[in-house]
Amino acid sequence: MNIAINTDHFEFKADQEKSYSQVDKKELYSIANTVTKLIAPSWPLADFVAVNPLWGFKDRPFLSTQSRLRSLIGSGILPSTDFFLNHFEKNNLQESEINNVLLEAKLTGNLDNDTFKANSELLNSRFLAALNNSKKDKTDYKTPTFSEYLETLGLVKNIDGLFIDEISKFCGIYFDKGQAAFKSPLQELSLFKAWNHLARTDRTLNILGFSDFKSFLEKYANEYEEILFEAYKILDYRKDILEIFLELNLFSIKGWSSYVRHLAFEDEKTLKQNDTPLELLCIKIAYEIYLIKKAPIRDVKNYINLLKARISIVPNQKKDSILYLSQLILERRFIRSLAKNIAPAALTPYERKTMQAIFCIDVRSENFRNNLEQQSDNIETYGFAGFFGLCFNHCQSDYDYNINQYPALLSTRFKIKEKNSLEEFKTNSLNALIKSLRQSVCSGFSYVEGFGLYYLYEIAKDVLRVQSPESRINTAPQLELELTLEQKVEASINLLKNSGLRIPYAPTVLLCGHESSTNNNPFQSALDCGACGGHSGGINALVASRILNDQSVRESLLGSEYEIPVDTVFVPAVHCTTTDEIHIIENDKNLDNEKIAWLQSATELSIKRRSAAIGLEQSESILKDVSKRAQDWSEVRPEWGLAGNAAFIAARRSRTKKSDLAGRCFLHEYDSESDPQDKILELIMTAPMIVASWINLQYYTCATTPEFFGAGNKTIHNVVGQLGVLEGNSGDLKIGLPMQSVHDGKKSMHEPLRLQVIIEAQMENITKIVEKHDLLNDLINNGWLKIFSLSRESNEMHQLVRNEVWYRHS
Amino acid sequence: MTIIIALICSSPSIAFYIFSSLRYPLDRRTRLSFSGVSLTCLTCSFIAIGLFLMAPSIANSYSAEKYLIIFYLDRISYIMAFVVSIIGFTVVRFSVRYMDGDNRQLYFLKWLSITVTAVFWLIFSGSILLFLLSWLAVSACLHKLLVYFADRPKALNAARKKFIVSRIGDLAIISGCIILLKCFGTLVFRDMFFLAAQSGPTTNSWQFQIAMLLIALGAVSKSAQLFFHSWLPESLEVPTPVSALMHAGIINAGGFLIVRLSPLFAQASLASCILAVWGTLTAVFAMSAMVTQSSVKKRLAYSTIGQMGFMIMQCGLGLYALAMLHIVAHSFYKAYAFLRSGSAMQQASSQAFFPNKVQLSGWRIVAIVFLFTTASLITSNFFKISYLPLILVWASVILQAFISDTLQVSSKDRKYALLASFRLLSVMLISYLALAYIFSATLSGIVAGSWIDTRPDLLSNIAVISVSLLIASGFILQLLIVSSKTNKLIASLAIHLHNGLYLGSYFDRACNAVLPHSLQIKKLKGKI
């Protein structure tokens, strides 16, 4: 009997065995390494920034990513058929629209020719019918991992989930940033070694019946390269199958993979090698290989055949094409209505204003800027990346982590230290003591008995919401800037030049960062300034204004085109996006009553305009209601963040000043006349535009594929390791935005559109820059965003369809 | 009178049914129902305060009333009612915005309010029969809330485990009650306590002792003590307010049962002794497991288990008034901690303070041992012996504070840190002593005195000594876990503790053997 069992299981014939050295180690390594790059990085909760979760696919066309994802995760990223049907039901579909998008698809080449022909027969008047038909196409194209495959065969149950729980448990311990009082010694080892150690010690799998798992580890999983080779061996030494096998497993633990990808991403900035993503992938496939060793050989062979068959299949082409065309229709409709809102170019001579205000390009600034400008003709606002071009590490106190105050794609330049007060030291030491008392065997009990009743008071305070929201930036703190004069002057010139601030500068120049105000919300940083690395932008505004107000800097600028008038004062402020209030950080004496009144009525108008979306009634007390809501510890939807974002406009403010853009546009100031060498344009297109696209695709995917790219339901979130959330007990780390960030329970708050970039610049200038940067080429040619050139003189727009080809938008 | 009390006890559900049946659009009805239920709970808490203050006069006026067969009204009931109504109020208020957008909000509120109602009935029940019925009702309602997300397999799994544990507990209690009925001839608390106070042959009989053992088993299962604990850290697949209600309210039921039956437990040395040891074991285990947990809610869950263990230990030592204090204080503490679990990041940033580095140098170990021994020697002479373990606990608290990270900092501001810890500890100690005094004073005559002091015998010595030893070793174990970074044994132990000593997995395996849910590993016969 024993013999029979043995032959029935996976054994390799001697002639098939190749030794490790014969195979190109490096090649396997590089295959696996490339695969891990498919996953986009995901930042920890403290520095949560929006990420394009499909960053790894940027060099592939949007549409083929759609079908690739169907195979990998069982779902594409385009909105569902029902979504489009609903949309077209409400807004009738025009024949001309279909023709237009067919043309666009043809020009962009995103639909390949064959599909295109087949579809064109179907289309025209029968578009809706075709769309309706595609609903029936529900075939499950998900290629299973081996454990999922065994589940479908009925040989095992819940095993995939079990393995993911085990990995997640391990990662929670290994990556813990201080949630557990016990710092695991495993953190000192490399990821794979640590896992190997934990898996040998942990008895969970043993208890559940995998009694030989430990011996498997000893035999096959001492080094991650061994596991990789083992997989290769099992998969008939076929690199293409190995690749798909690795991809499937990578996506089965996409949460933790994204987190470790972020670690590697940060290391790559300093050209450090980081194999953690690869190690994590090998951990996952170790479990799979264990199952393969245990499973009947027939099933393993069938599985390999299944993988082979899946390599060549392009699933759901027809359905995806029609969904893609519908997406194009939606986007065209949006761009049309947006074009109507763009004012024709007007040549008004510039006079010195009373107040100039620079805001972040964030879509939430748009509403406020619009309302502020309405207050007086003497106000001018600008849109600029909210970190004000300053990349620094902010060290709030000796006892805090250093906070990165710059976009995730850049790296740090200098350091800012806040002087600590004694008070701060006292509170911190008290907090540390309380923590240590609460977290240990005996003192935990006494602490509860001594102070438990005090929490009744805390509960009352929170239920009654007596605190009013405060800015997180200290008013006029003492800062230590580690900058030389040259650096300061350079930073000043960059800021003044790139923000397009017009000369002569107004007596008051408001530098306005932004932050959110929410309570008891693990996703607070998702609502903060993405350009400031998911933190409050106030500190950047403060540092920028300190530099610009510096007398020696001003002296150095004397005589240059950026000379700052003597009476000009830069006032740092922070815009609270939850309450739309402006908090002045320092130099508030410079603001007279009139200016303060402007800001206050802008606040009021902005809230009123948002009130319907956040479900508040327009009443006298609306300001209070909003501020109460911001402090509500049970509030899961304090504000809608960047939901609804759809366009990025780099143009003079006069083009958009008078129009209501519904808070859907990133607005960057750009005047091509003051940029003869296209330096500013290049900067805009390679930095803020990319960040905007990340944000855009983060919201896009969270709206269309929440089950995979969203962080799930806030009500069962469980913060793990002070870096991310789990849903409930365990499972994979959750990435992306929670359901409550994009959905109000009845309807989605984000209409999924790819970023529509409108630049007021000549087509050839834009083309030149795109040609120069492979990244831009990839993003545009593959359809991850669309670029339009807006004429300086008229409202004419041209779309860049592919490599230097422009076509006029109508 | 009977009807009035019954109405008050049922008021949350009544409020729910009234408000939810109003003919308004769904949104408005939902809002109104939430406000209605929360206000009802708040009113109940005021009633409880009023009753508590008037308690002595009430007790005199109705001594012979009939409804006392149905209801039991004393300060314990009022205190518990106050706690539960405040927790209920908070949780319902919290859910208004927290559950916003969920299309089953009314369903959620319905079961929330019925659960609170069932707990009220439990608190005020005057006989074991009613007590048992409400006990079962609480369990059933909680089950409904635990499977609120019925599409989550892990939620179902945890609920199933809880179901099995609860039924084991129920079985123990029911059989215990049957024996009690045989011993006393009645199930009405008032009569049973009267008979027990005479300390006659009934309480000395082995039947009585066994009955109390069984009831203790039921209490232990309800309060998630060691071996019955695994469902608690696994039942996080519920909305946070449900966790808060469970960890702050329902989990106390086991402790409440013991305090309620304190006149009986005071006569049951064996059961009490076992409770004391079991509770301490749980406390030490769970708090050690807690320090290894890397997710915030799991940490809180283990903290609850540990705190319940400590409370059960106090019950076992006969310190019922202190156990009540613990229940009350812990409820507010844990409700707050759970509802605030979303602030884990903000709390972290203010507490990321010093790197965790407790160093155990030689002289510190000597100091610990020295302090422990002197403290216990001095105190056992001056205080009642039943307080010994508590004094040990306090000694270790002080030690903990002095070796904690704060004072490791070598800075010129060290003296402020020292001063701060000194102040904090004094406030903590004084407020504890004051509260302990208040609780003992207000509950004197209502709960029984400690059996350890009134009837010192072999069992009481065993209880005190083993509890003290366990506390001391727990403290040292904890220090070892936190301080040693490289010790392999400790590292492995931490992994086992992180898994809750695998009781959940054993449970899973046991379930898998009978349920169709199984992993069916046996079909995979390949050899490694």
Confidence class for position A25, pLDDT limits 50, 70, 90: confident
Minimum CA–CA partner of B100 in chain A = A745
Instruction: Pinpoint the alpha helices (H) of A270-296.
Output: 276-294
Instruction: List A residues 670-709 in contact with B (Cβ-Cβ < 8 A).
Output: none
Residue A628, min C-alpha distance to chain B (Å): 12
Return d(Cα B196, Cα B185) in angstroms, integer. 12
**How confident is the model at residue A444, as a pLDDT?**
86
* Residue B101 to residue A745, Cβ atoms within 8 A: yes
Residue B486, min C-alpha distance to chain A (Å): 6
Beta strands in B306-395 (DSSP E): none
SS3 for A759?
Answer: strand
Which of B283, B343, B356 has its CB closest to that of A183?
B356
Please name the residues in contact with B252: beta carbons below 8 A apart, sequence gap of 6 or more: B80, B83, B223, B308, B311, B327, B330, B331
pLDDT of A217 higher than 70:
yes
* Residue B353 to residue A449, Cβ atoms within 8 A: no
Tens-place pLDDT, residues B26-41: 889 999 999 999 999 9
**How confident is the model at residue B383, as a pLDDT?**
63
A421 contacts chain B (CB < 8 A):
no
Pick from A318, A238, A249, A321: nearest CA to A72: A249
Residue keyed to tokens 């008392």: A437
Return d(Cα A451, Cα A456) in angstroms, integer. 10
Return d(Cα A502, Cα A216) in angstroms, integer. 69
A637 contacts chain B (CB < 8 A):
yes
Q: Which of B299, B308, B343, B495 to substitute to test the interface with A, most A CBs within 10 Å?
A: B495
The packing angle between helices B75-98 and B414-443, to 10°, is: 130
A798, amino acid identity? H
Residues on chain A touching B325 (C-beta within 8 angstroms) = 449
Residues on chain B touching A733 (C-beta within 8 angstroms) = none
Q: Are A713 and B238 in contact (CB under 8 A)?
A: no
CA A418 to chain centroid: 29
Return d(Cα A150, Cα A128) in angstroms, integer. 40
* Residue A181 to residue B155, Cβ atoms within 8 A: no
Instruction: List A residues 223-262 in contact with B (Cβ-Cβ < 8 A).
Output: none
Return d(Cα A722, Cα B350) in angstroms, integer. 13
Q: Which two tokens stand for residue B203?
A: 């309480």
Minimum CA–CA partner of B310 in chain A = A445
Minimum CA–CA partner of A210 in chain B = B521
Which of B339, B405, B508 has its CB closest to that of A436?
B405
A463 contacts chain B (CB < 8 A):
yes
CA dihedral of residues B262, B264, B269, B274 (deg, nearest 10) = -60
Question: Which residue(s) pair with A418 in the sheet?
Answer: A479
Q: Which two tokens stand for residue B225?
A: 């003590």
| For residues A699-724, average pLDDT | 93
Residue A466, min C-alpha distance to chain B (Å): 15
Q: Which of B86, B240, B295, B492 to substitute to test the interface with A, most A CBs within 10 Å?
A: B295
Query: A267-271, A288-292, B141-145, B489-493: which range is least confident on average?
Result: B489-493
Query: A101-105, A108-112, A393-397, A511-515: which range is least confident on average?
Result: A108-112
Return d(Cα A644, Cα A653) in angstroms, integer. 21
Residues on chain A touching B492 (C-beta within 8 angstroms) = 201
| Rg of chain B, C-alpha, whole Å | 24
- Residue B84: CA count within 13 A, CB half-sphere: 33
Minimum CA–CA partner of B513 in chain A = A208
Tens-place pLDDT, residues B444-480: 888 888 888 888 888 888 888 888 888 888 888 877 7
The reply to whether omega before A504 is within 30° of 0 (cis) is yes
- The number of helices, as runs of H, and strands, as runs of E, in chain B is 24, 0
Residue keyed to tokens 């809750």: B500
Beta strands in A690-734 (DSSP E): 717-720, 724-727, 730-734
* Residue A157 to residue B154, Cβ atoms within 8 A: no
Residues on chain A touching B35 (C-beta within 8 angstroms) = none
Question: Which residue(s) pair with A481 in the sheet?
Answer: A416
DSSP A587: -
- The number of helices, as runs of H, and strands, as runs of E, in chain A is 34, 18
Minimum CA–CA partner of B354 in chain A = A399
Q: Given its phi and psi angles, is residue A684 left (phi above 0), alpha (psi -120 to 50 degrees) or beta?
A: alpha
Minimum CA–CA partner of B241 in chain A = A715
**How confident is the model at residue B355, as a pLDDT?**
40
pLDDT of B370 higher than 70:
no
Q: Are B488 and A186 in contact (CB under 8 A)?
A: no
Q: How far apart are the first and last CA of chain B?
A: 72
**How confident is the model at residue A63, as a pLDDT?**
87
* Residue B524 to residue A445, Cβ atoms within 8 A: no
Percent of chain A with pLDDT over 90: 57
Residues on chain A touching B294 (C-beta within 8 angstroms) = 172-173, 176, 179-180, 720-721
Instruction: List A residues 390-409 in contact with B (Cβ-Cβ < 8 A).
Output: 399-401
Percent of chain B with pLDDT over 90: 45
Tens-place pLDDT, residues B255-310: 999 999 999 998 888 999 999 999 999 999 999 899 889 999 999 999 999 999 99
A41 contacts chain B (CB < 8 A):
no
Please, what is the average pLDDT of chain A?
87
Q: Which of B79, B332, B407 to substitute to test the interface with A, most A CBs within 10 Å?
A: B332
**How confident is the model at residue B475, as a pLDDT?**
82
* Residue B401 to residue A443, Cβ atoms within 8 A: yes
| For residues A719-737, average pLDDT | 92
Which of A203, A290, A453 has its CB closest to that of B329?
A453
Please name the residues in contact with A67: beta carbons below 8 A apart, sequence gap of 6 or more: A76, A314, A315, A316, A317, A320
A436 contacts chain B (CB < 8 A):
yes
Instruction: Pinpoint the alpha helices (H) of B444-502.
Output: 451-454, 458-483, 488-498
Residue A636, min C-alpha distance to chain B (Å): 6
Query: A213-227, B53-67, B311-325: which range is least confident on average?
Result: B53-67
Pick from A515, A510, A519, A428: nearest CA to A471: A515
Residue A613, min C-alpha distance to chain B (Å): 13
Please name the residues in contact with B185: beta carbons below 8 A apart, sequence gap of 6 or more: none
Q: Given its phi and psi angles, is residue A219 left (phi above 0), alpha (psi -120 to 50 degrees) or beta?
A: alpha
A98 contacts chain B (CB < 8 A):
no
pLDDT of B359 higher than 60:
no
Query: A245-254, A530-539, B48-57: which range is least confident on average?
Result: B48-57
| For residues B108-116, average pLDDT | 95
A5 contacts chain B (CB < 8 A):
yes
Minimum CA–CA partner of A728 in chain B = B237
Tens-place pLDDT, residues A262-283: 999 999 988 899 999 999 999 9
Tens-place pLDDT, residues A551-587: 999 999 998 889 999 999 999 999 999 999 999 998 8
Instruction: List A residues 487-546 in contact with B (Cβ-Cβ < 8 A).
Output: 519-522, 524-525
Residues on chain B touching A45 (C-beta within 8 angstroms) = 345
Which of B152, B332, B471 has its CB closest to that of A459?
B332
Minimum CA–CA partner of A731 in chain B = B154
Residues on chain A touching B474 (C-beta within 8 angstroms) = 441-442
Q: How far apart are the first and last CA of chain A?
A: 76
Which of B152, B328, B353 has its CB closest to that of A431?
B353
**How confident is the model at residue A116, as a pLDDT?**
56
What is the model's pTM? 0.93
Between B361 and B318, the more confident residue is: B318
Pick from B346, B306, B359: nearest CA to B330: B306
* Residue B339 to residue A520, Cβ atoms within 8 A: yes
Return d(Cα B465, Cα B276) in angstroms, integer. 11
Q: Which of A158, A177, A445 to substitute to test the interface with B, most B CBs within 10 Å?
A: A445
Query: A147-156, A309-318, A485-494, A592-601: which range is least confident on average?
Result: A309-318
Q: How big is the CA angle at A121 (ends A116 and A126), to the nearest 5 degrees?
A: 110
Q: Are A542 and A390 in contact (CB under 8 A)?
A: no
Work out how many CB contacts closer than 8 A connect A with B: 386
Query: A133-142, A295-304, B229-238, B518-527: which range is least confident on average?
Result: B518-527
